[in-house]
């Protein structure tokens, strides 16, 4: 059985030829006009990036290397006795487009466990953070500091040839993913607990170790939740803020630690990954105001009051999606199986029946349906993880899988420095003066 790196080494030459052929045949073809509105409007719909791991269809949602979430749940290896896909398998799929064997996935778990230890000075950086510093800021600091031991940065300084970039990038990406549970666990325990951490168990899978580091290792349902959670949050094509930021920073040949910490800073924004924290805060505030088991009328009034005070309804809407996010649906299915009677889950279901109608009536949001963040906090809190400021860190652990996969391919394919053209408003006025 080949290791992931050996399989990649086999795949890369053919992929380089494929890209050459695409460019030779289609390189000068246009996608269509670019409008001035797209420049002012956050570049919605602007074709601008290559991203191989996943593609997002507005109606259907995400596909990882062509596979829907349901297909991934069916095809990817699971843990013994478990039924959720192992993120190890998803990473293999993102990188190679292939479904790995159980043995290959177990080997990845072992490899990541062996790389999981973080340097003492990184531990110290985390330990010195005041508990009032948001966990995402601590996370980003720690990931940035991992660049101290970057294999890519070292190889580059030693004058490695461009053709060899991907090998050390691969090593850095494996180290990055492997070290995230220890970083996340340390932040969690420092901010919310007594700072004491168990050690990684090399016989366990990634999510089981992550759960143990967070203090939930004995709860098999929570471990299963993390397997699903890390799998579905991993990648959402290339244009979202965290993915694109990682690719952009990586294009300057900043190493994967620097590139991914930049991703994390984008993920920490409330319109992106922080929305999972915001959703739970909003639900709790709603419960405080209108009580548990509130009527539909009371919920409607609360949603309208959110909109009327100029705030967004967190967990709803999307820049690309135009239907319910299948990542929301996957989490709903998990809840129906494991926590059907949880009151907060019931509230989430009640809101699902109410918010889209209100957003449509309000008439602004292009997509009135829920996104991934509308559901995740409810699941975590059900198992006793009530620390909502931590939720986006879990999103970040998962997002590393998608960003890392693309960074490896970008170096393998020799992706150039990103440098799109910007314009001033004055330049645009001049350009279209007589048109």
Catalytic residues: 272, 318, 373
> 157 CB contacts (<8 Å, ≥6 apart)?
none
Q: Does 365 bind ligand CMX (CB under 6 A)?
A: yes
- 397-420 burial, b if ≥16 CB within 10 A, otherwise e? bbbbbbbbbbbbbbbbbebeeeee
- Which residues from 213-252 bind ligand CMX, rule CB under 6 A? 240
Q: Give residue number: closest CB to ligand CMX.
A: 317
DSSP state string for 317-353: --SS--S--HHHHHHHHHHHHH-TT-HHHHHHHHHHH
Q: Does 367 bind ligand CMX (CB under 6 A)?
A: yes
- Could you identify the residue written with the tokens 């991914």? 260
> 33 CB contacts (<8 Å, ≥6 apart)?
none
Q: Does 271 bind ligand CMX (CB under 6 A)?
A: yes
What is the Cα–Cα distance from 15 to 7, expressed in whole angstroms? 13
Q: Does 356 bind ligand CMX (CB under 6 A)?
A: no
Q: Binding segment for ligand CMX among 56-64, 130-138, 176-184, 266-274 (CB under 6 A)?
A: 266-274
Among 142, 319, 393, 403, the residue binding ligand CMX under the rule CB under 6 A is 319
Q: Does 371 bind ligand CMX (CB under 6 A)?
A: yes
Q: Are 257 and 150 in contact (CB under 8 A)?
A: yes
Closest CB to ligand CMX among residues 299, 415: 299
Residue 210: how many other CB atoms lie within 10 Å: 28
Q: Binding segment for ligand CMX among 67-75, 108-116, 258-266, 307-315 (CB under 6 A)?
A: 307-315
Q: Does 318 bind ligand CMX (CB under 6 A)?
A: yes
**Percent composition of the chain: helix, strand, coil (DSSP 3-state, to 5):** 60, 5, 35
Q: Does 317 bind ligand CMX (CB under 6 A)?
A: yes
Q: Does 281 bind ligand CMX (CB under 6 A)?
A: no
Closest CA to 146 of 161, 126, 164, 131: 126
Give kind and range of the element (H or E) at residue 224: helix 220-232
Q: Does 351 bind ligand CMX (CB under 6 A)?
A: no
Q: Does 327 bind ligand CMX (CB under 6 A)?
A: no
Q: Binding segment for ligand CMX among 48-56, 215-223, 269-277, 376-384 (CB under 6 A)?
A: 269-277
Total residues in contact with ligand CMX, by rule CB under 6 A: 21
Q: Which residues bind ligand CMX (CB under 6 A)?
A: 240, 271-273, 275, 307, 312-319, 364-367, 371-373
């Amino acid at each position: 059985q080949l290791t992931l790196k050996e399989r990649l080494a086999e795949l890369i030459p053919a992929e380089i030829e494929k890209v050459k052929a695409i460019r030779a045949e289609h390189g000068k073809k246009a996608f269509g006009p670019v409008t001035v509105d797209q420049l002012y409007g956050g570049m919605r719909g602007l074709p601008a990036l290559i991203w191989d791991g996943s593609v997002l269809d507005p109606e259907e949602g995400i596909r990882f290397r062509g596979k829907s979430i349901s297909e991934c749940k069916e095809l990817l290896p699971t843990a013994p006795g478990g039924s959720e896909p192992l993120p190890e398998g998803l990473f293999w799929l993102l990188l190679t487009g292939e479904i790995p064997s159980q043995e290959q996935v177990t080997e990845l778990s072992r490899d990541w466990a062996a790389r999981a230890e973080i340097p003492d000075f990184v531990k110290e950086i985390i330990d010195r953070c005041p508990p009032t510093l948001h966990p995402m800021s601590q996370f980003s600091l720690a990931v940035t500091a991992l660049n101290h031991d970057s294999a890519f940065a070292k190889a580059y300084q030693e004058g490695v040839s461009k053709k060899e970039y991907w090998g050390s990038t691969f090593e850095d990406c494996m180290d990055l993913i492997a070290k995230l549970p220890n970083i996340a666990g340390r932040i969690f325990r420092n901010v919310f607990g007594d700072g004491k951490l168990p050690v990684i168990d090399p016989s366990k899978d990634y999510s089981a170790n992550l759960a143990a580091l967070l203090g939930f290792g004995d709860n098999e349902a929570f471990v299963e939740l993390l397997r699903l959670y890390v799998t579905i949050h991993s990648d959402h094509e290339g244009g979202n803020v965290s993915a694109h930021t990682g690719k952009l920073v990586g294009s300057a040949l900043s190493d994967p630690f620097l590139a991914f910490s930049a991703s994390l800073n984008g993920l920490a924004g409330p319109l992106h990954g922080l929305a999972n924290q915001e959703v739970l805060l909003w639900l709790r505030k709603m419960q405080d105001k209108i009580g548990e088991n509130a009527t539909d009328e009371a919920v409607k009034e609360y949603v309208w009051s959110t909109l009327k005070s100029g705030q967004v309804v967190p967990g709803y809407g999307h820049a690309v999606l135009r239907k319910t996010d299948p990542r929301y649906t996957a989490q709903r299915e998990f809840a129906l199986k494991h926590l059907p009677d949880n009151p907060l889950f019931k509230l989430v279901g009640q809101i699902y029946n109410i918010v889209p109608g209100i957003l449509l009536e309000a008439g602004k949001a292009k997509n009135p349906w829920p996104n991934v963040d509308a559901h995740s906090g409810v699941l975590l809190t059900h198992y006793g993880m009530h620390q909502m400021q931590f939720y986006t860190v879990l999103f970040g652990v998962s997002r590393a899988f998608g960003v890392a996969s693309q960074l490896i391919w970008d170096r393998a394919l020799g992706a150039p420095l990103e440098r799109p053209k910007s314009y001033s408003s004055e330049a645009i006025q001049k350009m279209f003066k007589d048109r």
